[in-house]
Structure 1
Amino acid sequence: MLAEHFVLIETIGLNLFFAFIFIFIGLSIHDIMKKNDVPKMGRYTVYFVLFLGCAGFIAKGIIQFIWESQGVG
């Protein structure tokens, strides 16, 4: 059974890994900005850029899922 579902398990594991990495990056950036008294506009800018990185991975996953379901990839 493991050999049959290896690709699915690998994909889920990789997606969870990226989610945890983004969470840890966000927490470390939050800690650094809190310790250095960064203004609110700077914090919003940093969080927006981090969100764009996450949104890029989410968009890639959605596009990949659509293409594979249509037989393109």
Structure 2
Amino acid sequence: MLDKLLDGIDILGLYFGLAGIFFFIGMAIQDVLKKGDVPKFGRYVVWLVLFLGCSGFIAKGLIQVFWQGAGVG
């Protein structure tokens, strides 16, 4: 019982930690873009790349959850 609870807390800590890292990366990028006077098109490209990286991570997690639930992996 305690092992499952600790595993759940560990997983939640990992996901919240990674979400925090993505948040701070986004804040750092925003700061660099503002201080560097980057044109609008360049800003959109940077945010698109950041979004695709985050969405790829989320998609990987969802695929892993669905496959494990179906007994594939």
Which consecutive aligned stretches of 4+ in structure 1 deviate over 3 angstroms post-superposition? none
Identical-pair percentage = 56
The superposition leaves residues 4-63 of structure 1 with CA deviations (integer Å, 9 ceiling, x where unpaired) of 222221111111111110100000000011011000000000000000110011001110
Alignment match, 2:44: 44
CA distance in 2, matches of 1:2, 1:17: 22
**1:1-73 superposed matches below 5 A:** 1-73=1-73
CA distance in 1, matches of 2:24, 2:62: 23
Gaps of 5+ in 1: none
Calculate the TM-score normalised by the size of structure 2: 0.91
SS at match of 1:57: helix
CA distance in 2, matches of 1:3, 1:63: 25
**May I ask how many residue pairs the two structures share in their alignment?**
73
Calculate the TM-score normalised by the size of structure 1: 0.91
CA distance in 2, matches of 1:72, 1:11: 21
